[in-house]
Chain A
Amino acid sequence: MDSNIDTGFTGQLQAGTTLSNRYLIQEAIGIGGMGAVYRARDLHFPNVIKLVAVKEMINQARDPLARETILRNFEREANLLATLSHPAIPRIYDYFTHKERSYLILEFISGKDLETILKETTGFLPEGKVVGWAVDLCDVLQYLHAHQPEAIIFRDMKPSNVMINQHDHVVLVDFGIAKTFQTGERGTIIGTEGYSPPEQYRGEATAQADIYALGATLHHLLTRRDPRFEPPFSFNERPVRQINPQVSPELESVLVTALQYDPSERFQTAEGMKAALLDVSRKTGLSQPTSPYTTKVAVPQASITPLWTFSCADEIRGTATYVRDVIYFGSYDHHLYALNASSGKLLWKYATDGGIVSKPAVFGDYVYSGSEDYRLHVVSTRTGSVTWTYFTNGPVRSSPYIAHGHVFIGSDDASLHAVNLANGRGIWKMDSGALIRSTPLVNQDDIYFGNEAGELFCLDFHGRIKWRFKAKRAITSSPVVSDSFVFISSLDAMLYALEAKSGWVIWRFHLDKGSISTPCLADGLIFTGSVDGNIYCVDIHSAKEAWRFSTEHQVTGSPVIYKDALYCGSVDGFIYCLEYRTGQLRWKFPTGNPITATPTIHDDVIYIGSTDHSFYALPAT
């Protein structure tokens, strides 16, 4: 086989290569640090197709001693496999070495490894399925640990070393470790970081080390959080149920035990862990594979009673504004309302000729509100009588933003309008080329807003474009600025962080679906809703998801942080109160219909309207 090994550019064996005149390489099915694994056909069985796995190790060490050690470890794996017989361990047929390449010929497992399964799926794996695999894994560990004359410690349990075959049973692959711990002068990396137990760093390998690594593997499977991207030994800082509330408390507790820092506090045997897992499936009844959504978390139903409610003639879609004990909001019944915030009594209402879906702004003694009647209305806060109106050429669904003596507002006429605050005279308008539903934001000398063509503009005070950014779909939500970041969510299912000066994208966070919810910020975290029904919490510096909370329907309104809680409405009709650091539900309050508005909170009172035609004042607790 000297000359006919065709390794191509990458050093990999090419399809069609024959090893030992017997194994016809079909394709590479896995690539590792020291070589590849191939699917090959055994030509000694010409009349049937017998597949084998060919595991190749290329010994590139230059130091003769290192070469020798690597080769010895390879032979050890071959010899080890030859002594083992268990359905979850692949059989070995042959091994041989040629020059710097060594080969193991193994039983071919038709299936996928767990790392691939994680990659190819979204959403959490069903608990019953994971418990089933875990029981299988305990069983094979039990077999290895009971091996005579010496226990075999697998030492490298991780998703990529566990295959799931076509019968949905596990097969352990890669017995090639025998990783001896070496301290280099500095920085020798050991084992598979992330799954390894703390004592592996001390060179200890015991049955409890395999139990820890199994716990780590199961934690990864249930949470989809890759431990290789987290600090070592941090599993119990990421409780399984905090990330995946569908997991039963019983299973979480098994993982907590398996993942104890101190080996003596873990399950002492694989048998013990297996018994605990079987207990879990008996208690939860989840021994059979089930759909991920069959378990429902018990939620505290609201013992929340409204302080007052107020009814209008049509849906309330927009957000309220609180100023000096008065609540202002618009309704689809064409009216702008002013209510006493303490009592909910009507102070006045002002009629426009169209529905009001935006949030009014108050400046001095005037309230400013757009309406679908194409106008921006300015009304006295005291009497509710009109002071002036300003016409645009389309329905106004954007909310006004007041800064530097001007009111800025977008319109379905595609323009952003800058209007003199005092007299309603238009100063300039800037045609963005598409409907503007996004509310403008003014930060220092910059004006930011989005449009339905997916563009985010940064204008100067003369209405000239400083920069623009294009998302793939509409930007209906409004920008938020903090620390020279501009944050914006889009219907293209992204939450973006842009550099405020240049508009360059610093990071993008993938939502499951689009968003028209304006994000809010607290403590270096950003929160946003999405039409996928989730409320997301993301770290603004690292773009890492801190948590997500699922509601039963789209979240189109925006979350609000007040004290230590997040408040947010959902189209499922509920107002949610979550711990903002963890995303844990505190309570939820049902209204009769979808909520699209954002809560307004002042002095421990939440003010929010619903499409059930009612406006609510709820205690923020």
Chain B
Amino acid sequence: MPGFFQRLFRKRRTSPQTNLAETSTDQPTQPHSKPLAETAAEQTPAEQTLAEQTAGERSPDQTLLKPPQLIVGIGHSAGKQRDHNEDSLFTLTSTLFSDEIRLPFGLYIVADGMGGHQHGEIASGIAVRAMAGLVINEVFSPLISLPPTDPTESLQEIMRRGIQAAHLAILKQTPGGGTTLTGVLILGDQMTIAHVGDSRAYTIHPDGRIQVLTRDHSLVKRLVELGQITSAEAAVHPQRNVLYRALGQGEPIDAEIVTVPSPKSGYVLLCSDGLWGVVAEQEVFDLVTSAPSPAQACQSLVAAANAAGGPDNITAILIRLPD
């Protein structure tokens, strides 16, 4: 992920002493002390709201939206150096308001098929369909059924089964194929993230914090964690693209699944390494928060990755969460 954090710090710091070796170890949280947040803290809430409405860089998208709803944008590009796109994506956004229930529901999936294997795009497509199909049957259908029913399993169990279904579907339909998969299920105030591989999910908080919710299943990243190689060595390591876990590969497979509260008034970004490996985190933050809508933000994100050379397929799903 050349330049990812380098650019982050280049923007933030004037002194150039920070190098890639020291800064590219991912911390789960990268707090940004945004000047905006600092000044806003001294204002009264009323002043702050006023400031938000008038400040040029606060977009219309960031004013309070009632009732609570999910707003979604996507970006998808083969990049500049590949002739076809092996990434697949899925989005489903819905809202159910009836009686006492006010439930935003969203299911978002990014899968990055593996180019070293034949038919990367087949594997990623199969994975996305299998996962989406299962979760819709097990969660979405009960939600809108009449009378309403509860799923028989927990959301985490259903997401885990979705990952298994995707894995088995690849083994069966395109043996030898492989793909990453990162899926986010938003229901109420919680979101459940399931992932295998190195496609990432981030939360972007309005106060400037960006958090990586996933841990890449990447060999060199693990070697860095163990102190066996430095981040600088990792950046040029011959096996820097090697994943130690991917769907369709190895048996059995287990997804990493976590559930965290949705960031109020914030964003969730799902993306393949064609984006996060190329565009700096700070730039991502700036593009996301300055765009008039998630859809336009995704166009800008893809454009930024392509402007940086577009070495890999680029996929982004950006979800703006309720206040």
List residues of chain A with CB under 8 Å of any chain B CB. 32-34, 60-63, 182-190, 192-193, 198, 201, 226, 228-229, 231-233, 261, 466-467, 469, 483-485, 496-497, 499-502, 504-508, 541-543
List residues of chain B with CB under 8 Å of any chain A CB. 100-103, 114-118, 150-151, 153-157, 171, 175-176, 178, 180, 187-190, 192, 197, 219, 222-223, 225-226, 228, 238-239, 241-246, 249-254, 256-261
CB pair B189–A541 under 8 Å, yes or no, is no
CB pair A187–B156 under 8 Å, yes or no, is no
Other-chain residue from A61, A232, A542 in contact with B176 (beta carbon distance below 8 A): A61
Give the docked Cα–Cα distance between A499 and B103 (Å).
11
Other-chain residue from B155, B226, B241 in contact with A186 (beta carbon distance below 8 A): B241
Closest 9 CB pairs of A and B: A184-B116, A186-B241, A189-B249, A507-B156, A484-B189, A505-B154, A541-B258, A501-B188, A187-B114
CB pair B222–A187 under 8 Å, yes or no, is no
Q: Can you sample 18 A-B contacts with CB below 8 Å? A: A61-B176, A63-B118, A184-B241, A185-B241, A186-B241, A187-B115, A187-B180, A187-B242, A188-B117, A193-B250, A198-B228, A232-B244, A483-B261, A484-B188, A505-B150, A505-B155, A506-B192, A542-B258
Q: Which residue of A lies closest to B252 (CB)?
A: A228
Other-chain residue from A32, A62, A183, A501 in contact with B103 (beta carbon distance below 8 A): A501
Known: A183-B241, A198-B228, A232-B222. 15 other contacts (CB 8 A): A63-B118, A183-B242, A184-B116, A186-B116, A186-B241, A190-B242, A192-B250, A193-B244, A226-B254, A228-B250, A228-B254, A502-B103, A504-B155, A505-B155, A508-B157
CB distance from A275 to the nearest CB of B (A): 29
CB distance from B139 to the nearest CB of A (A): 8
CB pair B115–A185 under 8 Å, yes or no, is yes
Q: Which residue of A lies closest to B258 (CB)?
A: A541
Give the docked Cα–Cα distance between A32 and B228 (Å).
34
Give the docked Cα–Cα distance between A501 and B191 (Å).
13
CB distance from B255 to the nearest CB of A (A): 9
Give the docked Cα–Cα distance between A469 and B152 (Å).
12
CB pair B246–A187 under 8 Å, yes or no, is yes
Give the docked Cα–Cα distance between A232 and B245 (Å).
10
- Chain A contacts for B252, CB-based, 8 A: 228
CB distance from A265 to the nearest CB of B (A): 13
Other-chain residue from A33, A188, A467 in contact with B251 (beta carbon distance below 8 A): A33
Interface-central residue, A198, A231, A485, A508, by most chain B CB under 10 Å: A231
CB pair B222–A233 under 8 Å, yes or no, is yes
Give the docked Cα–Cα distance between A394 and B256 (Å).
47
- Chain B contacts for A198, CB-based, 8 A: 223, 228
CB distance from B162 to the nearest CB of A (A): 14
Give the docked Cα–Cα distance between A232 and B239 (Å).
15
CB pair A484–B261 under 8 Å, yes or no, is yes
Give the docked Cα–Cα distance between A272 and B20 (Å).
43
CB pair A499–B190 under 8 Å, yes or no, is yes
CB pair A186–B251 under 8 Å, yes or no, is no
Give the docked Cα–Cα distance between A62 and B122 (Å).
15
Given A189-B178, A232-B219, check contact A506 B189 (CB 8 Å): no
CB pair B150–A504 under 8 Å, yes or no, is yes
Other-chain residue from A33, A187, A233, A499 in contact with B187 (beta carbon distance below 8 A): A499
CB distance from B244 to the nearest CB of A (A): 5
CB pair B239–A201 under 8 Å, yes or no, is yes
Q: Which residue of B lies closest to A469 (CB)?
A: B150
Give the docked Cα–Cα distance between A58 and B257 (Å).
34
CB pair A201–B219 under 8 Å, yes or no, is yes
Given A184-B117, A261-B228, A507-B156, check contact A201 B188 (CB 8 Å): no
Given A183-B238, A483-B261, A501-B188, check contact A261 B226 (CB 8 Å): yes
- Chain B contacts for A226, CB-based, 8 A: 254
- Chain A contacts for B258, CB-based, 8 A: 541-542
Interface-central residue, A186, A201, A500, by most chain B CB under 10 Å: A186
Give the docked Cα–Cα distance between A466 and B261 (Å).
20
CB distance from B173 to the nearest CB of A (A): 11
CB distance from B310 to the nearest CB of A (A): 16
Q: Which residue of A lies closest to B185 (CB)?
A: A506
CB pair A502–B219 under 8 Å, yes or no, is no
CB pair A506–B155 under 8 Å, yes or no, is yes
Give the docked Cα–Cα distance between A190 and B249 (Å).
9
Given A499-B190, A507-B156, check contact A183 B239 (CB 8 Å): yes
Give the docked Cα–Cα distance between A185 and B192 (Å).
31
- Chain B contacts for A469, CB-based, 8 A: 150
